[in-house]
Amino acid sequence: MRLGVLDVGSNTVHLLVVDAHPGACPLPAHSHKVELRLAQLLDADGAIGPEGIERLISVVQEALEAAEDKGVEELLPFATSAVRDAGNADDVLARVKAGTGVELQVLAGPEEARLTFLAARRWFGWSAGRLLVLDIGGGSLEVAYGMDEEPDAAVSLPLGAGRLTAGWLPTDPADPGDVKALRRHVRTEIARTVGEFARFGAPDHVVATSKTFRQLARLTGAARSTEGPYVLRELKRKSLEDWVPRLAAMTHAERAELPGVSEGRAGQLLAGALVAEAALDLLGVDSVEICPWALREGVILRRLDHMPTT
């Protein structure tokens, strides 16, 4: 059957259409993406303003029409950190449903981590052993660890690249004092959770998902996305540590000229790099492998698992 997953994230609204059935690998058929940057549209009270809500309704309607055009039989719509943490989340959800008919399921942070973990586990298989999965989104950082398809530990922290850029790095280029303060804040937040994972012992395999990690890996020499999903891509902590001060000294425009960095994400790449560096360091990770599957695939896989196999 043809499924569509509609991901209302902190950076983008992304419709992914796949052809799938239980027991088979979902095959991508269409992708429709609009950069909305909800994490950066929150007002002083942490609410999404009227203009942001109207823009969201318009983008969701556009994605819904694209899903219909592509013959989607079932749409799986969900929202993550930006809507979850908005002070007026209930009003936003009600307005979107009234304007489009789409009822967004708001994923809790730990559930987001668990679904991303499921996707990584299915991609790498049981041979990966004890798996540690890292994901940096626009609004939050997810970390999950486990032996099975359900992680033994899963946490979500408000350390998304878009959220941190808006709240901590207001100038272009970034002020060195602001960078130092953000680095301290990120490390303090992550350090509080390290014990939850350390008690399980060292992982056998560490993987990372998300656009931020893919861009950082590309910066440090990983293969281009055009070479396909099955090429090994790694991000080494030492290479990342070398890049962080270089990114801190650049303007948004200069970062946008770097290989693999999109103009829309260039502004928040520094914050993402600081989170990635801190996570790898504090969790004792020297290198991560980039996983092509992430939250959207996890949502699809969970839905397939609950379908009859007839």
Range in 31-40, 75-84, 266-275, 297-306 the model is least confident about: 31-40
What distance in Å separates the CA atoms of residue 17 and residue 31, rounded to the nearest whole number?
6
How confident is the model over 153-166, as pLDDT tens digits? 999 999 999 999 99
- The CATH 3.30.420.150 portion of the chain extends over 109-295
Q: Is the domain defined by 109-295 classed in CATH 3.30.420.150?
A: yes
Handedness of CA 172, 175, 176, 177 (dihedral sign): negative
Q: How far is CA 137 from CA 11, 79, 85, 103, 273, in A?
A: 8, 12, 14, 22, 12
Amino acid at 90: D
Residue 43 is predicted with a pLDDT of 78
Conformational region of residue 28, where left means phi above 0, alpha means psi within -120 to 50, and beta covers everything else: beta
Edge-to-edge strands of the sheet including 131-136? 153-157, 141-146, 131-136, 205-209, 287-290, 234-236
* Neighbouring-strand partners of residue 142: 135, 156
Homologous superfamily of domain range 2-106: ATPase, nucleotide binding domain (3.30.420.40)
- Residue in the structure block whose two tokens are 């090429």: 231
- The CATH 3.30.420.40 portion of the chain extends over 2-106
| CA-wise closest residue to 122 among 306, 291, 303, 309 | 291
Output phi, psi for 34, to 5 deg: -130, 130
Q: What percent of the chain has pLDDT over 70?
A: 99
How confident is the model over 238-274, as pLDDT tens digits? 999 999 999 999 999 999 999 999 888 899 999 999 9
Q: What integer is the mean pLDDT of 177-181?
A: 98
* 72 burial level (CB within 10 Å; 0-12, 13-18, 19+): buried
